[in-house]
């Protein structure tokens, strides 16, 4: 679900290799009553093959980033719990705040979860040996790390925008940014450094909270009156079971495994990597509604919107093909 730690030192290993990982929500011009999940799923398969270096360079330049910065990875989702999901805003408990955010009940949203891909990994590789001791604030390597870290956070945000643009082109719709929220990053906080690992920034107007691919997700309004929360919120429901154990928890019959490609909402899941399909099964995650209730009870946030999944795209390649492409 996430952790926020304040320290007088910088700890690269707390953030890991996916620097800048986050979630971005867009409002689309699609009509909810016209959605056909299977057709949407088929169209989203093009997300697998975003490999236009020239276009990637143009995107990087437009964001004032070096145009050779991991250009072959820009516009890619990655593995693990990353995804691009079409959702419907099913409820707006706070209509006024929803309107302020530019959304309304019945809107079709695009929810993208991804990070800095190989760029972040290359940065972390240069600092992996630092270990739990971290880096002193005055260490010259600290400034160098934070400079690259900040580039990775910007790169990751751009990556999510490009994924959304590719999805919008495939779905033949327009998209408009609702919220962009990073949850793997380091920031100056008072006299120290605030490390957020899987914890969304809560000193903003809106934060997404992701459920599993067969559960509700939410748009939250942070309350921000709890100093002990370090201006942070959970970014998702969090895992209940680790990836390895899921292979024993999901039944072996082919019919059971095939059922993982559909949801109780009538939605579709595009994930040709059968191992990943099992490891990221809905049963692996905690109940997102319970997590929301805990945040509300703790007076950390209020619910602005409730989203239900229509199509979740993870990968259109099998495990062997994904490994060969690395």
Give catalytic residue positions: 235
User: CB under 8 Å to 282, separation ≥6 — which residues?
Assistant: 212, 213, 214, 215, 263
Round to whole Å and give the CA distance between 107 and 187: 33
Round to whole Å and give the CA distance between 130 and 149: 15
Burial of 201 (0-12, 13-18, 19+ CB in 10 A): buried
CB-based contact 92:101 (threshold 8 Å): no
Round to whole Å and give the CA distance between 201 and 188: 13
Q: How many other β-carbons are positioned within 10 Å of the β-carbon of residue 164?
A: 21
Which residue in 24, 215, 184 sits closest to 112, CA to CA? 24
H/E element holding 217?
strand 217-222
Which residue in 134, 135, 143, 118 sits closest to 17, CA to CA? 118
Round to whole Å and give the CA distance between 18 and 78: 10
Q: Tell me the two tokens of residue 318.
A: 């099998």
Compute φ and ψ for 244, nearest 5 degrees.
-60, -45
């Amino acid at each position: 679900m996430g952790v926020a730690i304040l320290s007088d030192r910088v700890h690269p290993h707390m953030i890991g290799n996916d620097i800048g990982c986050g979630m971005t929500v867009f409002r689309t011009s699609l009509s909810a009553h016209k959605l056909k999940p299977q057709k949407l799923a088929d169209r989203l398969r093009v997300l697998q093959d975003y490999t236009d270096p020239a276009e990637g360079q143009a995107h990087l330049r437009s964001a004032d980033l070096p145009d050779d910065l991991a250009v072959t990875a820009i516009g890619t989702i990655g593995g693990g719990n990353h995804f691009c999901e079409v959702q419907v805003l099913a409820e707006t408990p706070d209509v006024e705040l929803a309107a302020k955010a530019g959304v309304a009940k019945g809107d079709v949203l695009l929810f993208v979860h991804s990070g800095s891909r190989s760029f972040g990994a290359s940065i972390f590789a240069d600092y992996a040996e630092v270990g739990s001791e971290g880096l002193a604030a005055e260490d010259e390597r600290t400034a160098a790390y934070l400079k690259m870290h900040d580039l990775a956070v910007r790169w990751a945000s751009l990556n999510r925008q490009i994924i959304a643009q590719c999805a919008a082109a495939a779905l033949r719709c327009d998209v408009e940014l609702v919220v962009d929220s990073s949850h793997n990053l380091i920031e100056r906080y008072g006299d120290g450094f605030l490390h957020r690992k899987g914890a969304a920034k809560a000193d903003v107007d809106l934060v997404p909270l992701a459920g599993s691919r067969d559960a509700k997700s939410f748009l939250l309004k942070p309350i921000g009156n709890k100093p002990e929360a370090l201006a942070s919120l959970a970014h998702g429901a969090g895992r209940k079971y680790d990836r390895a154990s899921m292979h024993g928890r999901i039944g072996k019959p082919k019919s059971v495994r095939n059922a993982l490609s559909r949801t109780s909402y009538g939605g579709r899941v595009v994930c040709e990597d059968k191992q990943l399909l099992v490891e990221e099964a809905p049963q692996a995650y905690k109940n997102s509604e319970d997590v929301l209730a805990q945040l509300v009870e703790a007076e950390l946030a209020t619910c602005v919107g409730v989203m239900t999944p229509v199509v979740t795209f993870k990968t259109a390649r099998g495990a062997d093909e994904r490994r060969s492409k690395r």
